[in-house]
């Protein structure tokens, strides 16, 4: 009887523990789902439905623009600091996680930024470096544009019509290219789903904006660059700002209040009631609004203020950014960055955390 009772007790206890384990896993799964649904998503109308289509990426304006502080859909660029500090070297830090090699690369970058060789980086030196790295991203976009332009200009006449682009775009969506071309040629109705049509309408608006006077609906290589990369054109930059304000502006006054800026555009998350769970996201946007974008600190961001903020080649913005980057790691408060400070805060500058930075830097020297 005693053994039977013990056996029953053990069985009950095991069942209880198993139940606890199942409950824990269920709760964990629920929290993970809440985190996924609450987190802001880059859900721009210009962003393709399937991100795994390389051909489609080549002809769609990318949502993410390197060296620009805000995405096309109004989300902050989380990698901006790394992009303007590392430039093309950013991929090397992502691919190579070996701390010793990353340390050496970071030391080389430090010496390049430190133009006067005084073993510390000033705000002016950092500003010059940021401008240089931003221009590097620009040149990279120009080179990529040449390849993408050739892909949509099969006859090589140096111009792409809206219909030529539309055919290539729909082909990348899985439509039969020859059938689509024939129907467009004969002005026949295209059977396109509502979502694809919405993307096409937005692209056509962008196409109009990139078509420099006199408007002929034909884009040359330079105009096509403006279409894919609006940061290269002042006119297109204005258009991008209008789109962002249109998405965020709730009262229609063509300006943004703080509450509008920290609220997600309708439809960008599947669980709107849970959007305020992501406190870090809200905190980042609040700080950017109050300390950077709202230049005159009147609590309102105008189109002009947002345009200045979005302009990647704005020297004042670059200097302001340089000062902010220095402030993050300036432990001795001398308004400069020493090598040890950059190594210690490597994750901020490179996305890569270096272990035992102090001991290792002395080894290098």
Domain map (residue ranges) of the chain: 79-159+220-362, 163-219
DSSP structure class, residue 213: S
Instruction: Compute mean pLDDT per 10 residues along the chain, 365 residues long, and list them.
Output: 42 47 46 40 35 51 87 88 90 74 92 97 97 94 91 89 92 91 92 91 93 91 93 89 92 95 62 58 90 94 94 91 95 96 92 60 48
**Tokens for 69?**
């502080």
**Peptide bond preceding 280 in cis form (omega within 30 of 0):** no
Residues 6+ positions from 179 with CB-CB distance below 8 Å: none
Residues contacting 44, CB < 8 A, separation 6+: 63, 71, 72, 73
What pLDDT was estimated at residue 287?
92
Q: What is the pLDDT of residue 25?
A: 45
Task: State the Cα–Cα distance between residues 91 and 105, nearest whole angstrom.
Answer: 12
Query: Would the pTM count as exceeding 0.85?
Result: no
Q: How many CB atoms lie within 10 A of CB 136?
A: 18
Q: Are 68 and 231 in contact (CB under 8 A)?
A: yes
What was the pLDDT predicted at 8? 43
**Is 232 in contact with 226 (CB distance < 8 Å)?**
yes
Q: So what's the pLDDT on residue 22?
A: 52
Cα dist from 195 to 71, 192, 202, 205, whole Å = 21, 8, 11, 16
* Rounded (5°) CA angle 104-109-110: 95
Residue 103, Cβ density class (10 Å: 0-12 exposed, 13-18 middle, ≥19 buried) = buried
């Amino acid at each position: 009887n005693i053994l039977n009772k013990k056996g029953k007790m053990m069985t009950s206890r095991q069942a209880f523990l198993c139940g606890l384990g199942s409950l824990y896993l269920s709760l964990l799964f629920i929290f993970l789902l809440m985190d996924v649904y609450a987190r802001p998503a880059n859900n721009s109308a210009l962003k393709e439905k399937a991100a795994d289509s390389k051909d489609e990426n080549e002809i769609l304006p990318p949502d993410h623009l390197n060296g620009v502080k805000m995405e096309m859909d109004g989300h902050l660029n989380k990698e901006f600091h790394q992009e303007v500090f590392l430039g093309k070297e950013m991929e090397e830090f992502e691919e190579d996680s070996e701390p010793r090699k990353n340390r050496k690369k970071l030391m080389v970058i430090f010496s390049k930024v430190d133009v006067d060789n005084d073993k510390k980086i000033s705000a002016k030196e950092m500003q010059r470096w940021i401008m240089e790295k931003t221009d590097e991203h620009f040149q990279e976009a120009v080179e990529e544009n040449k390849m993408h332009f050739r892909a949509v200009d099969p006859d090589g006449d140096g111009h792409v019509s809206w219909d030529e682009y539309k055919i290539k775009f729909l082909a990348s969506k899985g439509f039969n290219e020859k059938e689509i071309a024939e129907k467009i040629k004969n002005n026949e109705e295209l059977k396109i789903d509502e979502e694809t049509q919405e993307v096409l309408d937005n692209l056509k608006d962008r196409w109009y904006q990139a078509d420099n006077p006199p408007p002929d609906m034909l884009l040359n290589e330079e105009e096509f660059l403006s279409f894919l990369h609006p940061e290269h054109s002042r006119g297109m930059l204005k258009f991008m700002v209008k789109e962002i304000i249109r998405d965020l502006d709730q009262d229609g006054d063509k300006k943004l209040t703080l509450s509008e800026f920290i609220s997600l555009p309708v439809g960008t998350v599947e669980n709107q009631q849970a959007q305020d769970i992501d406190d870090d996201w809200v905190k980042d946007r609040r700080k950017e609004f109050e300390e950077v974008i709202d230049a005159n600190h009147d609590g309102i961001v105008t189109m002009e203020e947002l345009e200045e903020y979005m302009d990647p080649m704005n020297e004042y913005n670059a200097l302001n950014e340089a000062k902010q980057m220095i402030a993050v790691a300036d432990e001795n408060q001398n308004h400069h960055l020493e090598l040890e400070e950059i190594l210690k805060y490597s994750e901020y500058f490179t996305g890569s955390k270096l272990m035992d930075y102090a001991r290792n830097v002395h080894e290098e020297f």
